[in-house]
Structure 1
Amino acid sequence: MTILRPVRGRLVLAVLLQALSSAAGTGVLIAMAVIGDRLLRPAPDPAGIRNLAVLAVVAALLSVLLAAAATVLTHLADNALQLRLRRVLADRLGRVPLSWYSGRGSGQVKKAVHDDVQAMHYLVAHTALDVTAAAVTPLVAMVFLLTVSPWLALLALVPTITGAWLFRRAMAGAGPKMAAYGRAAAEINNAAVEFVDGIAVLKTFGRAGVAHRRFRTASDAFSDFFTAWAAGTTGITTASQLVVTAPVVLVVVLAAGVPAAAAGLLAPAALVAFVLLAPALAGPVATIGRHLQALRTGLSAAADVSALLDTPVVENGAAAVDPQDTTVRLHAVDFSYDGTTTVLSGVDLELRPGTVTALVGPSGAGKSTVARLIGRFHDATAGRITLGGVDLRELDPATLHRTVGFVLQEVTLLRTTVAANIALGRPQATRAEIEAAATAAQIHDRIVADPRGYDAVVGTDVAFSGGEAQRLSIARLLLADPPVLVLDEATAYADPHAEAQIQRALSALADGRTMLVIAHRLAGVRGADQIVVLDGGQVVERGRHEDLLAAGGRYSRMWRAQESTAVPALAEETR
């Protein structure tokens, strides 16, 4: 009901129109029954019969028009709701903690934003109208039939009651099974995404069969589950549908009504009324089987959408003042992704304007986590992080995003033009500025080698390698020109020649800015103003390159284990 609140007014109006439509439609049958009764009288009244016929025609037209208007209203409401939900979900997914995604496959996210919203179509566009029609039509018919013959009207309800009882037995335990149905569908979604994402790598190693094994297993499991469910309910479900069909209802009514009429206990004209209206009494049970699956799917989807909308988000601050400067400080920061395993513990760190801080350490030490905390991809579990003296949690997100720029290991390019990808941080940038940034990032020549150049759509017209994608992300950062730079293995995918050029471009950009560089190759950061060594989520050493070598600690051992490279040090280039 919370989800439907924005369109509730339109749905209420549609229900009212459908109720009037159903009553008018049933009124047509009632008018025909009354006409039959008058025609069977010894002295029929032509004028009265004509008036009833006109009334029936008007009621039929009114029923059609009202039903059409109700259907249009609910479908417009469905369209509006789907648009609103997708916008709200996109906003919510943009504000949930990044850790929320770690426990979910992309197939689950796609299911929530696309499949679940689409699955609610029947719930919004049809359910209210179907329920209204199923309730109003038999109610109006029953009221009229009770005035004709109370005992035969009650007898005509027997198929309906029997069908409802059988259907209830068929649906016993359907709730848990529908939940299992949803889980099985989500598993197929995840397996399909994995199939597409992983097949290239697996084929490289001659194990293409592994790529579709999980998808095949998920599909087979879904098939087995659904087949077993159907096998256990098909017989009784079929019986519940057959018993409320028009022929069965008419057999029951006529089996009792014809002998009664022959014995003079029932007017012959009354049989006409029951032949026309008695099948409508079984309408709810006759239609529920066709719509229940869609209804349950819609309700399940609505529950999933509601759960996603209730997911806690990273609360945005709204500091009234801008940061005093671009100094970044981590004050006794602890962090855990799952609330149990500590990734960072008691980290104190200061990044000063105009300096380069290098963060080094073994894999899994927490270096990338520090970078993401500075961008507020997560909030610290304990301690606090400040930018210019302002806690990140109190800072306006627009100010934070305008101040801190990233080049991460995992590069994401949007399915839009190359120019739009580079201008992501500055949508108003001119083409000349975009090309200048791409040139500085050593990716301009690769872009113009494609026939459509900067207008090529990534993923459709052009595909970039890992190193090329990373240089595009560097061009994006160069164009955005933020005062705080976080580089997480920014040159990891570049060849030695390109790496040297990118280092020079970044070095020019680093002048006067606050810069954090995360690196595995120590030779590239040996000239940094401050080198911080992380191990096990804690700071174990900090200082300049020469001092750390002389100390003979963890950094010294890491340095000796690595071969020197010819790549110019980033911090050296800034001097």
Structure 2
Amino acid sequence: MLNVGHRHGDRLIAWTARATWAPLAGTAAAAAASIAVSLGLPSAVGAAVNAVLSGTGSTAVYAELAVLLLAAALADVVSGVAGITSVASATRMLRLRAIDRVLRTDAAGAAAFPAGELVNRLVGNTATTGYVPATLLQIVSGLVLSAGGVVALFVIDWRVGVAFLSGVPVALVVMRVFVARVSGLYGDYQRAQGRLAARLTETLAGIRTVRAAGTADREIARVLRPLPELSAAGHALWRAQAQSVWRITLILPLVEVLVLAVAGLGVAQGRLPAGALLATAGYTALGLVFVEQIDPLLGMAFGRSAAVRVHDVLALPVPAAGTRPLPPGPGTLSFRGVTVRRGGTSLLDDVDLEIPAGAMTAVVGGSGAGKSTLALLAGRLADPDGGQVLLDGVPLRDVDPGALRDAVAYAFERPMLLGGDIAGMISYGAPACTPEAVRAAA
């Protein structure tokens, strides 16, 4: 199931990258310029050192070095701005798409996630997912930079290049094990975080009940019950990161010392100029950039797990919109063979009901008898699993949503003042309503 979820998450990440291609293209261009400048700097430094030691230095050599340093600073600034723009655009698009899906799903879909869990996915998980395209570009840029550094080492001296490559396999194994382990751990962390947020939101919504019942201590304990699981997942993440960091920290100096020792031996034997030692140090640092991709890889692992959670929201069912207008009619409501099932339980089973136009009808019954479900079907806030609901002989599935909202009004048992005040609430579904009409309705 995890692999299937990750495939869905990866497709969402790919969609995000395509949707934000313009800022990503700017980020890629800035990264390419930064790579070119970074690969030119060690050679320019080595040339400047050789020129100083030989006494043949010219203004052109020093000017080239200064230009490269200035270009490197400029490329970093542009890359940073483009990267932030890309992340902001991706996060915005993901949030808008997810919120649109939540607002268009039916009543069963809206209840699929507790409010706190849903907020966690719409706010935190979308932001984490939004970082992934830019992070992936950062990883690719790092790998290209590393490859360029390795090629430059072989150009300086093939012995230096071989010395560098001798330490690469160990670093790759450490990185592979780390990313594989962290992906699962971060999924556990996010799920525990979502449960904590859901319980907290429920408690805040019912704060008056908690205070009136004097159950604050008990409610605090209930809200914090997922905390040990959250703590365990967080500590496991830290341990995994610590174990990888000390291994990488041990590998890097060993590779650098080995490469510089081989280059130093070449200088001592006269095979390499003195400036080549500085160039080798610079290119070794560039070659090891791929090892420094631990943080971006960690971000990728987090982002993939977050993308799975965002995809779950985007997978909420959305009823297909009808296109037919409602014909002129008195407002006769008909239920024909209506069946509704939830979790294997039938809430309504083959219901036939005719409510004449102009009638005031009360539906009574015990808790769970299906009263609320019947009311939701009447205005197509939910669709039946079987049968049809018709208004003046037209199936509600076929009616244009705008026409249906104009024809069917709801007054819920727990209304939310979304209009800001009572007048705004009365006219919430008809914002063009005049103050006189609002007063008349009140």
Q: 2:296 aligns with which of 285, 291, 296?
A: 291
The equivalent of 1:305 in structure 2 is: 310
**Higher RCO, 1 or 2 (CA under 8 Å, sep at least 6)?**
2
Query: How many residues get paired?
Result: 429
What are the superposed Cα offsets for residues 418-471 of structure 1, whole Å, 9 maximum, x if unpaired?
432222022122334334434xxxxxxxxxxxxxxxxxxxxxxxxxxxxxxxxx
2:43 maps to a residue whose letter is: I
Q: 1:320 to 1:196 in 2, by over 3 A?
A: closer
Work out whether residues 14 and 70 of structure 1, in 8 Å CA contact, stay in contact via their aligned partners in 2: yes
User: Is the 1:157–1:282 Cα contact (8 Å) retained in structure 2?
Assistant: no
Compared CA separation, residues 118 and 24, structure 1 to 2 (3 A): same
1:376 offset after TM fit, Å? 0.7
* Equivalent runs, 1:326-345 vs 2, <5 Å: 326-338=331-343, 340-345=344-349
User: Deviation digits for residues 310-367 of structure 1, max 9, x if unmatched?
Assistant: 33211110115535441111112111123x2111122222222222223223333222
Residues 513-541 of structure 1 show CA distances to partners (whole Å, capped at 9, x for unaligned) of xxxxxxxxxxxxxxxxxxxxxxxxxxxxx
What is the DSSP-based 3-state SS (H/G/I as helix, E as strand, rest coil) of the residue aligned with 1:333? Answer: strand
Q: How does 1:322-361 map to 2 (within 5 A)?
A: 322=327, 324-338=329-343, 340-361=344-365
Distance 1:148 1:184 in 2: 52
For 1:424, the aligned partner's letter is Y
- Partner letter of residue 192 of structure 1? L
Q: Match for residue 396 of structure 1?
A: 400
CA distance in structure 2 between the partners assigned to 1:229 and 1:141 by the alignment: 32
Structure 2: 5+ residue stretches without partners: 1-13
> Which of the residues 11, 25, 34 maps onto 1:12?
25
The answer as to 2:227 corresponding to 1:219 is yes
Q: Shift in Å at residue 252 of structure 1? A: 2.3
In structure 2, C-alpha distance between the alignment counterparts of 1:229 and 1:318, rounded to whole Å: 51
Greater Rg over alpha carbons, structure: 1
2:56 corresponds, among 45, 49, 55, to: 45
Gaps of 5+ in 1: 439-575
Q: Any conservation in 2 of the 1:323–1:390 contact (CA below 8 Å)?
A: no
Aligned counterparts, 1:432-447, within 5 A: 432-438=436-442
Task: Please state whether the residue corresponding to 1:350 is helix, strand or coil.
Answer: strand
Encode CA deviations 1:471-508: one digit per residue, 9 max, x unaligned: xxxxxxxxxxxxxxxxxxxxxxxxxxxxxxxxxxxxxx
What secondary structure does 1:295 align onto? Answer: helix
- Using the size of structure 2 for normalisation, the TM-score is 0.88
Once the two structures are TM-superposed, the CA of residue 384 in structure 1 deviates from its matched residue by 0.5
Note closer, same or farther for the CA distance 1:389–1:434 as it changes in structure 2 (3 Å cut). same
Match runs of 1:541-556 below 5 Å: none
The 3-state SS of whatever aligns with 1:40 is helix
Q: Which stretch shows the higher mean deviation, 386-395 or 299-308? A: 299-308
- In 1, distance between residues paired with 2:82 and 2:260? 40
Match of 2:89 in 1: 80
Q: Does residue 378 in structure 1 map to residue 382 in structure 2?
A: yes
SS of residue in 2 equivalent to 1:343: strand
What displacement does 1:249 show? Answer: 4.3
Per the normalisation by structure 1, the TM-score is: 0.69
Aligned-residue CA RMSD in angstroms? 2.4
Deviation at 1:405, TM superposition (A): 0.8
Runs of at least 4 residues off by over 4 Å = none
Whichever residue aligns with residue 104 of structure 1, its letter is F
Give the aligned residue type for 2:275: A
Deviations 1:137-184 (A, max 9, x none): 222222222111111122123444433323333444333222212211
Q: Provide the C-alpha distance between the structure 1 equivalents of 2:334 and 2:226, rounded to a whole number of angstroms.
A: 48
| 1:363 is aligned to 2:367 | yes
1:261-276 mapped onto 2 (5 Å cutoff): 261-276=267-282
Alignment-mate amino acid for residue 100 of structure 1 = G
Aligned in 2, Cα 1:323/1:220: closer, same or farther, shift over 3 Å? Answer: farther
Deviating more after overlay: 252-261 vs 368-377: 252-261
Q: Which moved more, 1:224-233 or 1:210-219?
A: 224-233
Greater helix content: 2
